[in-house]
Amino acid sequence: MLITSIGQGLLWAPLVIGVFLTFRILNIPDLTTEGSFPLGAAVTISAMLAGQSAIVASLFGFVAGCLAGWVTGLLDTKLKMPSLLAGILTMTGLYSINMHIMGKANIPLLDQKTLMGWLPASWSLNLQTIVIGAVVTLVVLVGLIWLFQTRLGLSLMATGNNPAMSAANGIYTDRMVIIGYMLSNGLIALSGGLIAQSNGYADIGMGIGTIVIGLASVLVGEIFLHGRQIWVRLTGMVVGAIIYRYLLTLAMGLGFPVNDLKILSAAILVIVICLPLLQNKYRTKRQLRRYLKEIGVDQHATTNYSERPTLTKSLLSRNQQRAARLKGRESND
């Protein structure tokens, strides 16, 4: 179960990293994901059926995803559409485009050699999936870590942090946003091509719920591995993808039907969103109890609404007494 989760998680890792780029770096909720993921699968499988190698077909899928992100970026920056609406429009249009590319709702691979087929046939399918997923994910991580050390990558992060200040410092924020969209959806489409090769087919509906999968994996990764350095954050996305796939595999092992995977994905997303909020609330209450204990105030008084005015007055009187003592000391000096 764990080995299978690692292999599938590594194949989904480019999608999670792509969602991370728009959601965390650019602070943009991009719904193009649910259209660019099946787009990458459709282009990759169609190119392989047309005689292209698996590597070239996967690159075609990446480029197709970049074009989808470019369209969303133009709608967002040049036509000044809200980012959510721009993503929805592109996602809707991609449904028809994917149907035209595939010609039907589902196209299977026949005898085409996938990326896993380049490895020794004596290896198990799980091992082949892990190796291919690890190689692709490593290339993506190294490329992005290098990118974010360049001026372009720093401008991309600055645009997401403070667009107004970035524009004031001469950064073409519209161009950075478009590049972010393209890179994000390119990685998402690449993941779609990898998943399609692993499954042996491309389906028009395989993109449904991918935004939930991506967001849940991002949040899970930030819980288990968080930091300010970009390489730590990107590695956390890979860890989040693996853990998320393991949770789904564990749920299926407990007897949950396949039809309930979407609602399980939504439930996991709710949990990982609420967990940090509950942790912060508990931490705040604990700090408040410690502070009240230090100043000698009954902590149970804070839970009684009728006693809160008295508590507030007592705190104010103590502060006034302290201020008077300090003022008296200063006058004596």
Looking up residue 86, the CATH number of its domain turns out to be: 1.10.3470
Task: Tell whether 288 is covered by a domain.
Answer: no
Task: Tell whether 281 is covered by a domain.
Answer: no
Which token pair is 170? 């001469």
Count of alpha carbons within 13 Å of 300, Cβ hemisphere only?
Answer: 0
Task: Tell whether 301 is covered by a domain.
Answer: no
Task: Tell whether 232 is covered by a domain.
Answer: yes
* pLDDT values of the chain reduced to their tens digit, one per residue, 333 residues: 678 888 999 999 999 999 999 999 999 989 999 999 999 999 999 999 998 999 999 999 999 999 999 999 999 999 999 999 999 999 999 999 999 999 998 999 888 888 988 888 888 888 999 999 999 999 999 999 999 999 999 999 999 999 999 999 889 999 999 999 999 999 999 999 999 999 999 999 898 889 888 988 998 888 888 778 999 999 999 999 999 888 888 877 777 777 777 787 788 888 878 877 787 788 888 888 887 777 766 555 555 545 555 555 555 565 566 666 666 665 665
Tally the domains of the chain. Answer: 1
Count of alpha carbons within 13 Å of 138, Cβ hemisphere only?
Answer: 6
CA angle 233, 38, 93 (to 5 degrees): 110
Domain housing 20: 1-260
Task: Tell whether 167 is covered by a domain.
Answer: yes
The alpha carbon torsion through 230, 180, 243, 33 (nearest 10 deg) reads 170
Task: Tell whether 296 is covered by a domain.
Answer: no
